Structures are given as structure tokens and as C-alpha cells.
Amino acid sequence: MLEILKAILFGIVEGITEWLPVSSTGHLILLDEVLTLKVTPEFYEMFQVVIQLGAILAVVILFFRKLNPFDPGKSQKQKDRTWALWFKVIVAVLPSAVIGLLLDDWMDEHLYNFVVVAIMLILYGVAFLFVEQRNEGLSPRVKGVHGIDIKTALLIGAFQCLALIPGTSRSGATILGGILLGVSRGAAAEFSFFLAIPTMLGASALKLVKYLLEGVIPTGIEIGVLIVGCVVSFAVSIVVIKGLMEYVRKHNFGIFGLYRIALGVLVLLYFVIKNLFT
């Protein structure tokens, strides 16, 4: 029962931080530091990625009509625009897919630690503040997600590669990249959501296959932890995505920049003090 309660908390954190530009992986690494799940290291490495499946389902449910090119209620022109949007999403996912496949094991071994997470939290927090100040008063070149062209989509996908470093935030990197390229906050956030579908499906499939190939058999508790984590992350994601889309209509991302900087500093202080007394 205690591990299931922990899984609920992990699902809540995943559902909130996956879509906000604050780094879900970074938060899960930090949460595991203070609330460790009693599972095998192999299972946890898989769990912290596959738990994203619940969050992905939330995007599919919320944007199903917009993403469905077979919707009988759409005109042929609308269906063509939907297919074009999917094509741009697939183009955008290619850079991170290639780099992720090549460097996945190396990054797991060298980058998943509190120092990297803290530095990335602070660095991109400063970047958000800088970009929002730079863009203050400017009118975005692209107002809606369908206005994103192939070149812009590919460049946003290049920004997503930065999120392979834990603490960066996939949504943060893509939204920041979109804003820098002249895309409105709302359109950048929406495109980031759509880009998450193939990106996170691919990452989850890769981790799951690696886990199964290791020959490790999950316990009943571990299976329950994974199911609960995914279900909770789905439910929380529904609320967070709706809230974020409403938020960006009236506000900028400056508050998330400040949060990242404050959290990064606290993480560094926590681990420095911990290491001094251990």
C-alpha cells in the first residue's frame, strides 16, 4: 500500500511537470531522492519514462478532433491541414529520435544526477526570463499551430534535442524554441503537446524493450506501481493541459523561469549540505 501511495505521488508530479516547462525528468529524479520507490534499479529506469504514457493519452483525448484526419465532421481542406500538421510533427521529432537512439545509454550513465539537473534548471530559467523580456511588446509571426511551416517545425525539433539532458524540460525546450522562432506562446505550447505524442511513445517503447531484453521479471507490486502512476499522470495531465492553455492566453512564461532558478539553487544547496554531512 505504501508503494502505491508513492506511485500516486509520482503520477501527480509527472502529470504536472510533463507539460509545464519545468522538467518532469528532473522532478522525478529529485522526488526519488527523498521518496524512493522500493523497486529494482532496472524497473525504476523504465518506470520514470513509461509513466509518461498516461500523460500522452491526455493529449490524445483533449485534442482528438484536432488531431484526427479521419473526422467525418471535417471538410477535405480541414483533413488536409490535419495531415499536414502530422507531417510537420513527424519531421520535428526526427532530430531527437536520432540523437536519443545513439546516446540513450551514455546519457543515462553520465547525465542523470543532481548537478546536471540543477544547472539545467537554472540555465533555462534564466533563458525564459531573457526571452520573455526580449519579446515583450513584439507580435508573433505565427499565431496558430497550423501556421508553423516545415522549416520552423524542424527547428523546434532541434530545440527538443536539448531536452535529452535531464533538467532541461522537453516542453520547456520546444516552447522556448518556438517563441524564439516567432511562434505565439499558445501555438508553441500546443505544438509541443503534439510533438510529445511520437516523442514520448518512442522513448517509452525504447525503455520498455530494453527492460524486457534484460530478462528482469517485474513483481506484482512493480506492475501495480506502473499502472497507478500512468493512471494518475493521465488524470492530472488533463487538468494541467487545460490550465496551461488558459494561462498562456493572458500571461507569459516568466513565472516558470523564476521557479526553475529557485528550484535549481535549492537542489544545489540540498545536495551540497547532504554531502557535507555524509
Task: For 16-72, write each residue's pLDDT tens digit.
Answer: 998 998 888 778 878 888 888 888 888 988 898 899 999 999 999 999 999 999 999
Task: For 145-196, write each residue's pLDDT tens digit.
Answer: 999 999 999 999 999 998 888 888 888 899 999 999 999 999 999 999 999 9
Instruction: Decide: helix, strand or coil at residue 109.
Output: helix
Question: In the structure grid, which three cell numbers stand for residue 163, read together?
Answer: 531536452
Query: If 0-12 CB within 10 Å is exposed, 13-18 middle and 19+ buried, where does residue 260 land?
Result: buried
Answer yes or no: is pLDDT of 203 > 90.
no
Answer yes or no: is pLDDT of 86 > 90.
yes
pLDDT band at 94 (very low <50, low <70, confident <90, very high): very high
Answer yes or no: is pLDDT of 254 > 80.
yes
Q: Could you count the other beta carbons within 10 Å of the beta carbon of residue 29? A: 19
> Given this model, what pLDDT does residue 175 score?
92
Task: For 204-251, write each residue's pLDDT tens digit.
Answer: 888 888 888 888 888 899 999 999 999 999 999 999 999 999 998 888
Q: How far apart are CA 123 and CA 118, in angstroms?
A: 9
Q: Domain coordinates of the chain in residue numbers? A: 2-276
Phi, then psi, of 119 in degrees rounded to 5: -60, -45
> Given this model, what pLDDT does residue 136 score?
81
Answer yes or no: is pLDDT of 112 > 80.
no
Q: Yes or no: say if 235 and 57 are a contact pair by the CB < 8 Å rule.
A: no
Answer yes or no: is pLDDT of 78 > 90.
yes
Answer yes or no: is pLDDT of 275 > 90.
no
Closest CA to 199 of 145, 247, 162: 162
Mean pLDDT of 130-154: 90
Dihedral, CA of residue 250, residue 256, residue 259 and residue 264, to nearest 10: -170
Give the type of residue at 77.
K
Q: How far apart are CA 48 and CA 106, in angstroms?
A: 17
Per-residue DSSP letters for 50-95? Answer: HTHHHHHHHHHHHTHHHH-TT-TTS-HHHHHHHHHHHHHHHHHHHH
Answer yes or no: is pLDDT of 266 > 90.
no
pTM over 0.75: yes
